């Protein structure tokens, strides 16, 4: 873990804040962790592979602690929060971002596919937030990663879409349940974003390129989004600039699901 000078941590919008970001080794999670660290936060990131965590910690810079954890494993979540507590930190921002999915039509769905998708996206999100509660400061911001797939019927993406619709529902319910602690809960719904997770949906690099090119044609802005653009929204939701926003879902999709 790097410990920057006090001068460094005084500089940003998140000076003196502690943030936990699950799934922080690539894509949206990594971009958000980097942005939060640049804004002066002490950042904890999780991932399932040590090599990816080491690379992410180096890329993030600032005051970062990398914790090897699978969000669908409750023992790993306990270890994550024990690490935060042992450092004497309490959490101001929780970004429950870990997730994933694969294409499968209704005919192709297997029990393994369903369990893996709902295990990470639904079970993992639920227990990431539940187990954080004793460690969250009153007035904290909880951010969930949803998806535009949770609101439309993307072909062969039904299980993934259903899991993200559940995440959207969690944001509403938890915002209501946690209001007495002034904890805000919101969901971000990314559209087509250039991430390793998106590329992994295609079996080959050539098909990944074709997928990105096709998705760009469905976006009114005419291009794919970048992880940093989602990180900018996460920063807004993490700060007092969004102090009157809770229980909502905000789309970062270039207008794809809006027009």
Residue carrying structure tokens 């639920």: 126
Joined together, the tokens standing for residue 61 give 């810079």
Q: How far apart are CA 60 and CA 45, in angstroms?
A: 10
Q: How far apart are CA 74 and CA 124, in angstroms?
A: 8
CA distances in angstroms from 215 to 109, 157, 229, listed in the order given: 23, 14, 17
**Residue 203: how many other CB atoms lie within 10 Å:** 9
Catalytic residue list contains 160: yes
Contact 143, 93 (CB under 8 A): yes
Check 8, 44, 81, 160 and give the catalytic one. Answer: 160
In 11-146, the DSSP E strands lie at 18-21, 42-47, 63-68, 91-96, 136-145
Contact 164, 187 (CB under 8 A): no
**Residue 216: how many other CB atoms lie within 10 Å:** 17
CA-closest candidate to residue 41, choices 96, 78, 4: 4
Residues identified as active-site: 160
């Amino acid at each position: 873990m790097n410990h920057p000078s006090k001068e460094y941590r005084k500089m940003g919008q998140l000076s003196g804040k502690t943030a936990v970001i699950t799934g922080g080794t690539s894509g949206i999670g990594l971009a958000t962790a980097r942005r939060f660290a640049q804004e002066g936060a002490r950042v904890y990131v999780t991932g399932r592979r040590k090599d990816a965590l080491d690379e992410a910690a180096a890329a993030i810079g600032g005051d970062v602690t990398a914790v090897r954890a699978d969000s669908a494993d409750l023992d790993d979540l306990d270890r994550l929060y024990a690490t935060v507590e042992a450092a004497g930190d309490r959490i101001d921002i929780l970004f429950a971002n870990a997730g994933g999915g694969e294409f499968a039509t209704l005919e192709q769905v297997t029990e393994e596919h369903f369990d893996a998708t709902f295990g990470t996206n639904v079970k993992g999100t639920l227990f990431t937030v539940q187990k954080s509660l004793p460690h969250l400061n009153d007035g904290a911001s909880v951010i969930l990663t949803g998806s535009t797939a949770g609101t439309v019927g993307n072909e062969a993406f039904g299980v993934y879409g259903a899991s993200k619709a559940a995440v959207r529902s969690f944001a509403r319910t938890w915002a209501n349940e946690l209001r007495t602690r002034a904890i805000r809960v919101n969901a971000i719904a990314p559209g087509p974003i250039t991430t390793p997770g998106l590329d992994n949906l295609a079996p080959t690099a050539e098909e990944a390129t074709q997928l990105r090119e096709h998705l760009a044609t469905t976006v009114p802005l005419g291009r794919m989004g970048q992880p940093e653009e989602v990180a900018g929204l996460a920063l807004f939701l993490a700060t007092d600039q969004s102090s009157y926003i809770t229980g909502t879902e905000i789309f970062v999709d270039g207008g794809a699901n809006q027009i």
